[in-house]
Structure formats: structure tokens, C-alpha cells
Amino acid sequence: DVVHIMAAGRIVKTGGPELALEVEQNGYADILSEVNA
């Protein structure tokens, strides 16, 4: 299985089940702050 995180119409991060768990636990804020840094 593959998980894609999209922001502003583009894929900003791709991962497996561990990425889905990270989003469930921490939300999208951490991932989006990495992208916008």
C-alpha cells in the first residue's frame, strides 16, 4: 500500500502504512511545515 500526502494540488510526501499512522497520530501540520520550510 502507498500513501500520498497532497497539498496545493501536488504530492508533497509519499510513504507506506507508517506515513498513514504518523498522520493519524500527529495530523498534517508537521508534514506541511516540513514542506513549507
Does the predicted model carry a pTM greater than 0.85? Answer: no
Report how far apart, in Å, the C-alpha atoms of 26 and of each of 2, 9, 30, 32 are: 19, 22, 7, 11
CA distance 24 to 37: 22
Pairing of strands 3-7, 10-15: antiparallel
* Mean pLDDT value across residues 1-30: 95
pLDDT at 37 exceeding the cut of 90: no
**Tens digits of residue pLDDT in 24-33:** 999 999 889 9
